[in-house]
Chains A and B, each alone.
Chain A
Amino acid sequence: QVQLQQSGPGLVKPSQTLSLTCAISGDSVSSNSAAWNWIRQSPSRGLEWLGRTYFRSKWYNDFAVSVKSRITINPDTSKNQFSLQLNSVTPEDTAVYYCARCNRCVAQGIISFFDYWGQGTLVTVSS
């Protein structure tokens, strides 16, 4: 059974960096069939995919255009986890942030889905 455990602060000041970590059990961040994602949810934006990291002989990242200039997602193979950093946050970045596994991801002609999710972290951007 795959489990994703999120950690990180719930309050970030405007212009600072939001940092969250997602620890994986039951699978490997280096899996050749999964991708490891960050998704956020807010009343104004709904469920919004932010980006992913995945390993297919080498490491790849994909990011949403809306955050591409501000986002970093890094795998940590030594701890079997991955992290999110979002720079220069504003109150519009206030949301519940989820990590999620995308199964059968990034493969041509194969339907992928988010089958395991972290518990969610409410991050409030406020001074």
Chain B
Amino acid sequence: DIQMTQSPSSLSASVGDRVTITCRASQSISNYLNWYQQRPGKAPRFLIYAASSLQSGVPSRFSGSGSGTDFTLTISSLQPEDFATYYCQQSYSTPPTFGQGTKVEIK
């Protein structure tokens, strides 16, 4: 199975801050990388596919980049509703696997 490792595990930030989350795959996955947001008590919400393509309806302050083994999710200006846990997921091979999550907390 492909292992996905996110860093940091958590971070504290203020409204308006620029936030970057990193995801690393245990082997090359090209751009078969998706990002999800999960608020407490809710199901994950699909944000980004193919490493950098924004799902319809997702605010443009979210962006993704990367290819191969290293990927990033950036929130350009953190909003109150963005405080949540973020997960990366590879769809390069079966089984699909997720990172352990990065919790974005209010400073």
Contact = CB atoms under 8 A, between A and B. Distances in A.
A49 interface: yes
Contact of B95 (A64, A113, A114, A117): A64
Interface in B60-107: 87, 89, 91, 94-101
A47 B31 contact: no
Interface residues of B, number: 23
A114 B101 contact: no
Nearest to A106: B94
Given A111-B49, A111-B50, A115-B55, A47 B44 contact: yes
Given A98-B43, A119-B43, A120-B43, A114 B36 contact: yes
A114 B99 CA distance: 14
Nearest to A118: B43
B44 A114 contact: yes
B34 interface: yes
A120 B87 CA distance: 17
The 3 closest A-B pairs by CB, nearest first: A117-B43, A47-B98, A113-B49
